[in-house]
Amino acid sequence: IQSVEWIKVLPYLVVLGTAIAGMNVALVLILGIATTGVIGLLTGSISLFDWLGSMGTGITGMGELIIITLMAGGMLELIRFNGGVDYIIQKLTKHVNSKRGAELCIAALVSIANFCTANNTIAIITVGPLANDIATRYRVDKRKSASILDTFSCVIQGIIPYGAQMLIAAKLASLSPLSIIEYLYYPVAIGVFALLSIFLRYPKRYS
């Protein structure tokens, strides 16, 4: 059995611990990067230039997402400026008269967006402003609204056969993505419990 160098696990624990503690996400990431660099340099695992190069590679890998985010943000602001957001919310919430209905509306919005984009990050970015407006209008706790966005986008992302995760899994297993769907117990279970949390108003303190 290969021995574990626990000091190299420390950056993961730092990121996990500070995130659970509720620290600002930017500070969590900065702290994680700094901790990784310091430990890597002290243990001789990486050089200073390797560390900087890894950060550059990571930023490059996020380039496409950054561009899409900027475009989506600009598009949504144009839609909002021309009254499109108010129109969409009015139509979507026409028959909504409770927090439960508003939460279901948010869940449906992000699910549809994920079906169309096959990318849960883009779906959340696209629907986020709309969900925020709905949450504000119906006094849905922002924490629960964010949780619904994240949960339902992941549920859909996990079951669509044309999603990146499913395609990679199918390729590794040399199977058709469609043949895997009937065994997707985990995302289905998440979806069921997420719906139950909406209908049963759980947790009470955020409902």
Given 61, 78, 94, which residue is the final one in a domain? Answer: 61
68 and 157 fall within a common domain = yes
Domain annotation covers residue 38? yes
83 and 119 fall within a common domain = yes
pLDDT in tens, 99-156: 999 999 999 989 988 888 888 888 898 888 889 989 998 999 999 999 999 999 999 9
Mean local confidence (pLDDT), 86-101: 83
Domain annotation covers residue 134? yes
Q: Which domain holds residue 26?
A: 6-61
Contact 120, 165 (CB under 8 A): no
pLDDT in tens, 147-203: 999 999 999 999 998 888 888 888 888 888 889 988 999 999 999 999 999 999 888
Q: What is the rounded distance in angstroms from the CA atom of residue 199 to the CA atom of residue 20? A: 27
pTM (whole model) above 0.75: no
Q: What is the rounded distance in angstroms from the CA atom of residue 187 to the CA atom of residue 190? A: 5
| pLDDT, position 59 | 83
Around Cβ 16, how many Cβ atoms within 10 Å?
12
Nearest to 160 by CA among 112, 124, 128: 112
| pLDDT, position 22 | 84
pLDDT in tens, 194-203: 999 999 988 8
192 and 118 fall within a common domain = yes
32 and 92 fall within a common domain = no
| pLDDT, position 74 | 79
113 and 201 fall within a common domain = yes
Residue with tokens 């504000």: 136
184 and 144 fall within a common domain = yes
34 and 106 fall within a common domain = no
41 and 88 fall within a common domain = no
Given 44, 61, 78, which residue is the final one in a domain? Answer: 61
163 and 90 fall within a common domain = yes
80 and 48 fall within a common domain = no
Residue with tokens 């409902």: 207
pLDDT in tens, 15-72: 999 988 888 888 999 999 999 999 999 988 888 899 889 888 888 877 777 787 778 7
- Is the pLDDT at 1 greater than 60, yes or no? no
Domain annotation covers residue 87? yes
Domain annotation covers residue 1? no
42 and 143 fall within a common domain = no
180 and 132 fall within a common domain = yes
The C-alpha torsion from 81 through 83 and 86 to 89, rounded to 10°, is: -100
Domain count, the chain: 2
